[in-house]
Structure 1
Amino acid sequence: MAPVKAVAAKAAGLSALAGEDGDVLIAAAWLHDVGYAPDVLETGFHSLDGARWLLRHGFSPRIASLVAHHSCALYEADERGLGKVLAAEFRRKESVTSDALWFADMTTGPDGQDLSIEDRLAEIRERYGPDDIVTRFWRKAEPSLVEAVRRTQARMTDHPM
């Protein structure tokens, strides 16, 4: 739970960047990993499972889509053979809000600690090993993740909070 709390706290600190979407950002941060819960698990792909669960429980399509696509989830979906399913069910919209969610998630370690994007990706590679599906999709996703984090960092510099 520590990483989810830390991601949500980081998102709350970034909510001004998202403007009217600030509450949506915070909600998506709290819910981004709900798909790992055993009662939510369907496909084994937490982003898709969580987003489906959110829709079934009355959450907005916007929040569900942010959860579905958080932190380059489409790369993982492709690795798992679920890319077309994810894209068909949940629209991906690149935005300040999605970038901020990715930033909050990808600069928070597994114990809730602050990490740079580079250290977070190194931690993932170390934890999963070189041949794991997780390492494979992160390797492909890395340029897009780094770009989203850098865009958010630039916004933070332009609009100090």
Structure 2
Amino acid sequence: MGLIEESQQLAERLVEPLGRRWKHVQAVALRASEIADAVAPSEQATLVAAAWLHDIGYSPDIGHTRFHPLDGARYLKQEGWAVPVVNLVAHHSGARFEAVERGMSTELDEFPFEDSPLLDALVTADLTTGPGGESLTYDERISEILSRYPVDNPVHRTWIKAAPILRKSIERTEARLSA
């Protein structure tokens, strides 16, 4: 079984019981497949695998800190997954900003952050896909996130700070796809 198939099976086991989140994960994986040309051919399977796995930390079976990027990455590391996949899950879609808001930066530092085309592409796939799997623009996705969380919530505070920075990830991915 290949990396993508293994990722899909694990995501299905951990995320499908979460309902709507499973629709989001499936759509993010599909979107990652569609934009895979934004990364090197040797990294395309890693991108799609990380897309399948990016939200496994929401599973109550593995979510111990209630910070899903950290919980997902710790689980994958413990299970012996490839370091690039683990680190992408740890740092997907602004996790470093949310870690600051939650006082968990030290814990997230366990996983090296690499600003790369691979991370940009994962951010693009995640942040152009709505919570129910619908295709959204980046601006629509950020508005949707902000509308779900009250202003005093760490997630809301994260996106106020992270949105302009992560917009650049989307722009870089789009530029790579156009090149």
TM-score (norm 2): 0.85
- AA at the equivalent of 2:163: E
The percentage of aligned residue pairs carrying the same residue is 45
Counterpart CA distance in 2 for 1:77 and 1:129 is 18
Offset at 1:130? 2.3
The total of aligned residue pairs comes to 157
| TM-fit CA distance, 1:26 | 0.4
- Distance across 2 between alignment mates of 1:92 and 1:13: 24
CA deviation profile, 1:13-64 (whole Å, cap 9, x unmatched): 1222212100000000000000000011111100000000001112111100
Question: Distance between the aligned counterparts of 1:147 and 1:17, measured in 2?
Answer: 14
State the secondary structure of the residue aligned to 2:175.
helix
Write out the 4+ residue segments of structure 1 that deviate beyond 4 Å after TM superposition. Answer: none
For 1:96-115, what aligned pairs fall within 5 Å after superposition? Answer: 96-115=117-136
**Secondary structure at 1:72's aligned position in 2?**
helix
Give, in whole Å, the separation in 2 of the partners of 1:140 and 1:35: 23
- Structure ranking higher in helix proportion: 2
Q: Is the counterpart of residue 29 in structure 1 residue 78 in structure 2? A: no
1:119 maps onto 2:119 in alignment:
no
The answer to whether residue 99 in structure 2 is matched with residue 77 in structure 1 is yes
What SS does the corresponding residue of 1:69 show, helix, strand or coil? helix
SS in 2 for 1:115: coil
Measure the CA separation in 2 of the matches of 1:112 and 1:156. Answer: 22
Partner in structure 1 of residue 36 of structure 2: 15
**1:112-151 alignment, distance < 5 Å:** 112-151=133-172
In terms of mean alpha carbon deviation, does 143-152 or 129-138 score higher?
Answer: 129-138
Q: Which runs of 5+ in 1 are unaligned?
A: none
Q: For the residues of structure 2 that align with 1:13 and 1:114, how far apart are their CA atoms?
A: 12
Residue of structure 1 equivalent to 2:75? 53
Partner secondary structure for residue 92 of structure 2: coil
Question: What is the SS of the residue equivalent to 1:93?
Answer: coil
Please provide the CA RMSD for this pair: 0.9
Asked whether the equivalents of residues 69 and 95 of structure 2 are also in contact (C-alpha less than 8 Å), the reply is yes
